[in-house]
Amino acid sequence: MSNELVMSKKIINIGKFANIDVNLEILIVNPSRKPRIAIVTGIHGNETSGLLIIHELLQRIQSLKGQLSIVAFSNPIATLMGRRVGTDFLDLNRVFPGKKNGTITERIAWKLSRFLLKQDFVIDLHTFDVITPIMGIFMDTGSEKVRKRSLEMLEVFSPDVIWNLKPVKGKEKIFFSALGPFLARNGIPNFAVEMNQLEILTNREIEKVVNGILNVFNKLDSGEEKHELKRVLIVDRKEFRSEKTGVFIPLLLPLNTIRKGQIIGRIINVEKFGSENVISPEDGILIQISPKRFVKTGDLLFSIGKEIRALGR
C-alpha cells in the first residue's frame, strides 16, 4: 500500500456475548474523502476467502482518491464459531435492515446497514460451498439509476459470469432481505461476488477478483474506462439438489454448456455401493457443481444458468 494513504479504524459496538464485547471493526482508508466505497466480507462466518482478497488488495493499492471502508468480520460471533450463522441461528444475509433492539444477529444487521447506507458503492464478498467460477451478483431491484450503476460496475469488474438475482420472484424471494437487495432498494448501488472456498481458490481467481476491484476503484475515482471490457454472460440461475445420499463425483466443471439428459456426475450408493448417473434435467450453462463429497438428500449438487444477455464489447 502506498505511504500516501491514511488509515484509521472505526469500532461499532453491538453488545455482549458472555464477557466478550461484540464489535464491528471497520478499517477505513483515506477517511472523509469521496467517493465512499465499502467492501464487506464474513456476512457468513464460515466464508473466509474474502480475507485473502483484502490482503492482496491492500498490497496493490497505489493511490485512491476516495475513501475505502473494509468490514472484514461482518458476523463476528458466527466467525468465532466457524459457522454460517451465530448463536440465534438467524442468517445475517436474510434479516436486513435488522432490528435496533432485536437478537444479536438483527442488531448486527441494523448497525451494519446504518453504516453502509452512508456509502456510495458497496462490494460484498462471499464464498460458495460448491465449485464456482468468479460470479458477480446483480441485484435486479431498486431504481433504474441504481440498477444501471450496479451493472456498469459489474461490467468493469468483469467476473466469469453474472447471476441476475430477482429478490421478488419465485424461489429468489428468500433474498428479499439480503444485504444487496436491501441496499439497492435504498439507493445504494452494489454487487456481490461469489468465489471458491479458500482451500481451492486459485491464483488466477485471486488475481481476477483483485484486478476487478481495482478497476472498479479506478472507475469510481475518475469516471473513465482505462481497460478493455470483456463479454460477460448474465444468467438466471436454477439450483438442483440431491434426492439421494451417497458420495457425489463430479464429471464436469463450471461454464460448460450442457444439454438435457447429459451426465454431469455420479452418486455412489452407500448401501449397495453401486453408482447412479446424475443427469441434467435441462439445457443451459453449468454454473456450479459440488466437489467430490458425501451428500445427503437436499444438498446442492449443481446449478444451471440460462443466458439472458451479455455485457461488454
Q: Where in the chain is the domain with CATH 3.40.630.10?
A: 7-231
Architecture of the structural domain at 237-308: Beta Barrel (2.40)
Q: What is the pLDDT of residues 206-259, one digit of tens each?
A: 999 999 999 999 998 776 555 565 778 899 999 999 999 999 999 999 999 999
pLDDT at 77: 94
Structural contact between residues 42 and 112, judged by C-beta atoms closer than 8 angstroms: no
Q: Where in the chain is the domain with CATH 2.40.50.100?
A: 237-308
**Global pTM value:** 0.94
Q: What is the mean pLDDT of residues 6-17?
A: 94
pLDDT at 75: 97
Beta-bridged to residue 277, according to DSSP, are: 266
Phi and psi torsions of 31, nearest 5°:
-55, 145
Domain topology for 7-231: Aminopeptidase (3.40.630)
pLDDT at 169: 83
Place of cell 449443481: 302
pLDDT over threshold 70, residue 30: yes
Q: CA 127, 129, 131, 137 torsion: positive or negative?
A: negative
Q: What is the pLDDT of residues 75-133, one digit of tens each?
A: 999 999 999 999 999 999 999 999 999 999 999 999 999 999 999 999 999 999 999 99
Q: How far is CA 115 from the centre of its chain?
A: 19
The C-alpha cell at 138 is 446483480
**Which helix (H) or strand (E) is 308 found in, with range?**
strand 300-311
Q: How high is the mean pLDDT of the chain?
A: 93
3-state secondary structure of 227: coil
